[in-house]
Amino acid sequence: MIVAVAGGKGGVGKTTTSWNLGRELDAIVVDADLATADLPPGTGPDLHDVLAGRVDPVDAVDEIGPVTLLPCGRTLSGARASTLESFGPVLERLERTWGCVVVDCPAGLARDVGVQLHSADLVVLVTTPGRPALVDAFRTYGLTEALETPVGAAVLNVADRDRHAELADRLGRALGVETTLVERQDALAEAQSRWTPVRDHDPDAQALEAFESVASRLERSWRRLSGRQFRGPNAMKG
Protein backbone atom coordinates (compact mmCIF):
# COMPACT_ATOMS: atom_id res chain seq x y z
CA MET A 1 0.00 0.00 0.00
CA ILE A 2 1.34 3.40 -1.05
CA VAL A 3 -0.26 6.40 0.68
CA ALA A 4 0.29 10.01 -0.42
CA VAL A 5 -0.31 12.68 2.23
CA ALA A 6 -1.27 15.90 0.47
CA GLY A 7 -3.30 19.03 0.93
CA GLY A 8 -2.18 21.90 -1.26
CA LYS A 9 -1.39 24.63 1.25
CA GLY A 10 1.81 24.58 3.28
CA GLY A 11 1.70 24.54 7.06
CA VAL A 12 -1.45 22.43 7.46
CA GLY A 13 0.28 19.46 9.08
CA LYS A 14 1.06 17.12 6.17
CA THR A 15 4.50 16.31 7.53
CA THR A 16 3.21 15.71 11.06
CA THR A 17 0.50 13.45 9.66
CA SER A 18 2.99 11.55 7.48
CA TRP A 19 5.38 11.06 10.38
CA ASN A 20 2.73 9.68 12.69
CA LEU A 21 1.08 7.52 10.04
CA GLY A 22 4.50 6.04 9.36
CA ARG A 23 4.60 5.00 13.00
CA GLU A 24 1.02 3.73 13.15
CA LEU A 25 1.30 1.71 9.92
CA ASP A 26 4.91 0.69 10.59
CA ALA A 27 5.59 2.04 7.12
CA ILE A 28 8.55 3.67 5.47
CA VAL A 29 8.05 7.44 5.15
CA VAL A 30 9.35 9.15 2.01
CA ASP A 31 10.14 12.86 2.12
CA ALA A 32 9.07 13.69 -1.43
CA ASP A 33 9.43 17.47 -1.27
CA LEU A 34 12.34 17.69 -3.69
CA ALA A 35 12.90 21.44 -3.28
CA THR A 36 12.05 22.21 0.36
CA ALA A 37 12.32 19.01 2.39
CA ASP A 38 10.77 19.09 5.87
CA LEU A 39 11.64 15.73 7.40
CA PRO A 40 15.04 15.01 9.03
CA PRO A 41 17.91 14.90 6.50
CA GLY A 42 19.30 11.51 7.54
CA THR A 43 22.98 10.62 7.60
CA GLY A 44 23.71 9.20 4.15
CA PRO A 45 22.38 9.22 0.59
CA ASP A 46 18.89 10.57 0.00
CA LEU A 47 15.99 10.71 -2.44
CA HIS A 48 17.89 13.10 -4.72
CA ASP A 49 20.58 10.45 -5.11
CA VAL A 50 17.97 7.75 -5.71
CA LEU A 51 16.10 9.74 -8.37
CA ALA A 52 19.38 10.60 -10.08
CA GLY A 53 20.10 6.88 -10.39
CA ARG A 54 23.16 6.95 -8.14
CA VAL A 55 21.81 4.86 -5.25
CA ASP A 56 19.38 1.99 -4.80
CA PRO A 57 16.31 3.15 -2.79
CA VAL A 58 16.89 0.62 -0.01
CA ASP A 59 20.45 1.85 0.46
CA ALA A 60 19.23 5.40 1.14
CA VAL A 61 16.85 4.43 3.95
CA ASP A 62 17.57 5.67 7.46
CA GLU A 63 16.08 5.05 10.91
CA ILE A 64 15.01 8.09 12.93
CA GLY A 65 13.97 6.67 16.28
CA PRO A 66 11.02 4.32 15.65
CA VAL A 67 10.35 5.70 12.15
CA THR A 68 11.90 4.35 8.95
CA LEU A 69 12.64 7.20 6.54
CA LEU A 70 13.84 7.82 3.00
CA PRO A 71 15.03 11.42 3.47
CA CYS A 72 15.35 14.04 0.77
CA GLY A 73 18.33 16.26 0.02
CA ARG A 74 18.45 20.01 0.56
CA THR A 75 20.36 21.22 -2.51
CA LEU A 76 19.03 22.83 -5.67
CA SER A 77 21.50 20.85 -7.76
CA GLY A 78 20.18 17.63 -6.23
CA ALA A 79 16.59 18.59 -7.02
CA ARG A 80 17.51 19.43 -10.61
CA ALA A 81 19.29 16.09 -11.06
CA SER A 82 16.25 14.14 -9.86
CA THR A 83 14.28 12.26 -12.52
CA LEU A 84 10.59 12.20 -11.67
CA GLU A 85 9.91 9.41 -14.16
CA SER A 86 11.58 6.99 -11.77
CA PHE A 87 9.53 8.07 -8.74
CA GLY A 88 6.79 5.48 -9.19
CA PRO A 89 9.20 2.54 -9.56
CA VAL A 90 11.10 3.75 -6.47
CA LEU A 91 7.91 3.65 -4.40
CA GLU A 92 7.07 0.19 -5.72
CA ARG A 93 10.54 -1.01 -4.78
CA LEU A 94 10.06 0.29 -1.24
CA GLU A 95 6.58 -1.22 -1.04
CA ARG A 96 7.93 -4.66 -1.94
CA THR A 97 10.42 -4.40 0.91
CA TRP A 98 8.41 -2.67 3.65
CA GLY A 99 4.83 -3.47 2.70
CA CYS A 100 3.57 0.08 3.25
CA VAL A 101 4.90 3.46 2.07
CA VAL A 102 3.77 6.91 3.29
CA VAL A 103 4.70 9.78 0.97
CA ASP A 104 4.97 13.28 2.43
CA CYS A 105 4.00 15.46 -0.56
CA PRO A 106 5.11 19.06 -1.03
CA ALA A 107 2.74 21.99 -0.81
CA GLY A 108 1.05 23.37 -3.89
CA LEU A 109 -0.01 21.71 -7.12
CA ALA A 110 3.30 21.55 -8.94
CA ARG A 111 4.08 18.82 -11.45
CA ASP A 112 5.83 16.61 -8.90
CA VAL A 113 2.68 16.55 -6.73
CA GLY A 114 0.81 15.07 -9.67
CA VAL A 115 3.51 12.44 -10.08
CA GLN A 116 3.33 11.55 -6.41
CA LEU A 117 -0.46 11.34 -6.33
CA HIS A 118 -0.52 9.24 -9.49
CA SER A 119 2.06 6.88 -7.98
CA ALA A 120 -0.02 6.27 -4.84
CA ASP A 121 -2.82 3.81 -4.12
CA LEU A 122 -4.60 6.13 -1.68
CA VAL A 123 -4.46 9.78 -0.67
CA VAL A 124 -4.85 11.37 2.75
CA LEU A 125 -6.06 14.96 2.38
CA VAL A 126 -4.90 17.24 5.19
CA THR A 127 -6.26 20.72 5.87
CA THR A 128 -6.79 23.18 8.68
CA PRO A 129 -10.13 24.96 9.30
CA GLY A 130 -9.11 28.20 7.56
CA ARG A 131 -10.66 29.04 4.20
CA PRO A 132 -7.38 29.22 2.20
CA ALA A 133 -6.37 25.77 3.40
CA LEU A 134 -9.81 24.32 2.62
CA VAL A 135 -9.78 25.84 -0.87
CA ASP A 136 -6.36 24.33 -1.59
CA ALA A 137 -7.46 20.97 -0.18
CA PHE A 138 -10.38 20.88 -2.64
CA ARG A 139 -8.04 21.82 -5.48
CA THR A 140 -5.91 18.85 -4.52
CA TYR A 141 -9.02 16.72 -4.35
CA GLY A 142 -9.82 17.73 -7.91
CA LEU A 143 -6.37 16.58 -8.97
CA THR A 144 -6.80 13.22 -7.25
CA GLU A 145 -10.06 12.73 -9.15
CA ALA A 146 -8.40 13.61 -12.45
CA LEU A 147 -5.62 11.12 -11.71
CA GLU A 148 -8.13 8.51 -10.47
CA THR A 149 -6.28 8.06 -7.18
CA PRO A 150 -8.93 7.63 -4.47
CA VAL A 151 -8.95 9.60 -1.24
CA GLY A 152 -8.88 7.13 1.64
CA ALA A 153 -9.11 9.58 4.54
CA ALA A 154 -9.19 13.27 5.41
CA VAL A 155 -7.66 15.08 8.38
CA LEU A 156 -8.86 18.40 9.80
CA ASN A 157 -5.78 19.51 11.67
CA VAL A 158 -5.19 22.12 14.41
CA ALA A 159 -8.90 22.11 15.12
CA ASP A 160 -11.24 22.51 18.08
CA ARG A 161 -13.81 19.76 18.54
CA ASP A 162 -16.56 22.08 19.81
CA ARG A 163 -16.07 24.66 17.06
CA HIS A 164 -15.17 22.46 14.10
CA ALA A 165 -17.05 19.17 14.46
CA GLU A 166 -19.73 20.34 12.02
CA LEU A 167 -17.07 21.49 9.55
CA ALA A 168 -15.42 18.07 9.75
CA ASP A 169 -18.76 16.42 8.96
CA ARG A 170 -19.38 18.71 5.98
CA LEU A 171 -15.86 18.13 4.70
CA GLY A 172 -16.29 14.39 4.96
CA ARG A 173 -19.57 14.47 3.04
CA ALA A 174 -18.03 16.60 0.29
CA LEU A 175 -15.00 14.32 -0.07
CA GLY A 176 -16.90 11.08 0.38
CA VAL A 177 -14.71 9.93 3.26
CA GLU A 178 -14.81 10.28 7.03
CA THR A 179 -12.81 13.25 8.30
CA THR A 180 -10.68 12.81 11.40
CA LEU A 181 -10.34 15.88 13.60
CA VAL A 182 -6.92 16.43 15.21
CA GLU A 183 -7.15 18.95 17.99
CA ARG A 184 -4.63 21.68 18.67
CA GLN A 185 -2.49 20.38 21.55
CA ASP A 186 0.90 20.98 23.09
CA ALA A 187 1.77 17.28 23.20
CA LEU A 188 1.64 16.96 19.42
CA ALA A 189 3.71 20.09 18.83
CA GLU A 190 6.29 18.96 21.40
CA ALA A 191 6.50 15.50 19.86
CA GLN A 192 7.01 16.89 16.36
CA SER A 193 9.70 19.31 17.54
CA ARG A 194 11.66 16.27 18.74
CA TRP A 195 10.81 14.16 15.66
CA THR A 196 9.11 11.71 18.00
CA PRO A 197 5.76 10.16 17.03
CA VAL A 198 3.02 11.15 19.44
CA ARG A 199 2.60 7.48 20.41
CA ASP A 200 6.10 7.51 21.88
CA HIS A 201 5.89 11.01 23.36
CA ASP A 202 2.45 11.00 25.00
CA PRO A 203 0.25 7.93 24.45
CA ASP A 204 -2.65 9.72 26.19
CA ALA A 205 -2.77 12.54 23.62
CA GLN A 206 -5.93 12.89 21.55
CA ALA A 207 -3.82 12.95 18.40
CA LEU A 208 -2.78 9.33 18.91
CA GLU A 209 -6.38 8.14 18.77
CA ALA A 210 -6.87 10.29 15.67
CA PHE A 211 -3.85 8.87 13.84
CA GLU A 212 -4.84 5.33 14.83
CA SER A 213 -8.25 5.99 13.31
CA VAL A 214 -6.77 7.27 10.05
CA ALA A 215 -4.43 4.29 9.81
CA SER A 216 -7.28 1.82 10.35
CA ARG A 217 -9.41 3.60 7.75
CA LEU A 218 -6.60 3.40 5.19
CA GLU A 219 -6.15 -0.31 5.78
CA ARG A 220 -9.88 -0.91 5.31
CA SER A 221 -9.94 1.19 2.15
CA TRP A 222 -6.96 -0.69 0.76
CA ARG A 223 -8.56 -4.05 1.41
CA ARG A 224 -11.75 -2.91 -0.29
CA LEU A 225 -9.98 -1.44 -3.32
CA SER A 226 -7.41 -4.16 -3.85
CA GLY A 227 -9.54 -7.15 -2.96
CA ARG A 228 -6.74 -8.60 -0.89
CA GLN A 229 -5.55 -8.56 2.68
CA PHE A 230 -3.27 -5.72 3.74
CA ARG A 231 0.14 -7.35 4.09
CA GLY A 232 0.97 -5.55 7.29
CA PRO A 233 4.21 -3.93 8.39
CA ASN A 234 7.58 -5.22 7.25
CA ALA A 235 5.89 -7.96 5.26
CA MET A 236 8.88 -8.56 3.01
CA LYS A 237 11.72 -7.57 5.32
CA GLY A 238 14.49 -10.08 5.70
Instruction: Give the pLDDT of residue 232.
Output: 46
155: nearest Cα among 20, 23, 2: 20
Cα–Cα–Cα angle for 82, 238, 3, rounded to 5 degrees? 45
Q: Decide if pLDDT at 234 tops 50.
A: no
Measuring CA to CA, how many Å separate 40 from each of 36, 65, 199? 12, 11, 18
For position 110, which CATH number holds?
3.40.50.300
Question: Is 231 inside any structural domain?
Answer: no
For residue 235, tell me if it sits in a domain.
Answer: no
Residue 238 lies in a domain: no
Question: Is 128 within the bounds of a domain?
Answer: yes
∠ Cα 192 196 199 (to 5°): 105
Q: Which of 19-23, 164-168, 229-233 has the lowest mean pLDDT?
A: 229-233
- What's the pLDDT band for 89 if we cut at 50, 70, 90? very high
Residue 195 covered by a domain: yes
Residues 200-206, mean pLDDT to the nearest whole number: 93
pLDDT tens for each residue of 2-28: 999 998 778 899 999 999 999 999 999
In a domain, 18, yes or no: yes
Show the 3-state SS of 183-210. ECCHHHHHHHHCCCCHHHHCCCCHHHHH
Kindly report which listed range (32-46, 76-90, 99-113, 139-153) carries the lowest average pLDDT score. Answer: 99-113
Based on its alpha-carbon atoms, the radius of gyration of the chain, rounded to whole angstroms, reads 16
The pTM (predicted TM-score) of the whole model is 0.91
Whether 232 maps to a domain, the answer reads: no
* 206-216: pLDDT as tens digits: 899 999 999 99
**Mean pLDDT within 145-154:** 94
pLDDT at 98: 95
The domain tally of the chain equals 1
Residue 211 inside a domain? The answer is yes
| Distance of alpha carbon 74 from alpha carbon 212, whole angstroms | 31
- Give the largest Cα separation in the chain, rounded: 51
Q: Does the structure show a pLDDT above 80 at 238?
A: no
Which residues does 166 contact at the CB level (< 8 Å), separation at least 6?
none
Q: Which domain holds residue 105?
A: 2-226
Return the H-helix or E-strand segment holding 20: helix 14-24
Q: What is the mean pLDDT of the chain?
A: 90
Extended beta strands in the chain, E state: 2-6, 28-31, 62-64, 67-70, 101-104, 122-127, 151-159, 179-183
pLDDT of residue 107: 83
In sequence order, the β-bridge partners of residue 181 are 156
Lowest-pLDDT choice from 11-15, 16-20, 82-86, 118-122? 82-86
Question: Rounded CA gap, 48 and 60, in Å?
Answer: 10
